[in-house]
Amino acid sequence: MPHRIAIASDHAAVSLKAALVEWLREAGHAVVDLGPEGAASVDYPDYGYALARTVSGGDADFGVALCGSGIGISIAVNRHTGCRCALVSEPLSARLAREHNDANVLAMGARLVGIEMAKACIETFLATPFGGERHQRRIDKLTQPQLG
83 tagged catalytic? no
Phi, psi angles (nearest 5°) of residue 110? -65, -25
**Given 11, 67, 80, 85, the catalytic residue:** 67
Angle at 95 between CA 71 and CA 55, to 5 degrees: 60
36 preceded by cis ω (within 30°)?
Answer: yes
Are 62 and 1 within 8 A, CB to CB? no
Out of 29, 80, 85, 100, pick the active-site residue: 100
Per the annotation, the verdict on 80 as an active-site residue is no
Cβ count within 10 A of residue 82: 14
CA distance 147 to 143: 9
| 3-state DSSP assignment of residue 55 | helix
User: What are the residue numbers of the active site?
Assistant: 67, 100
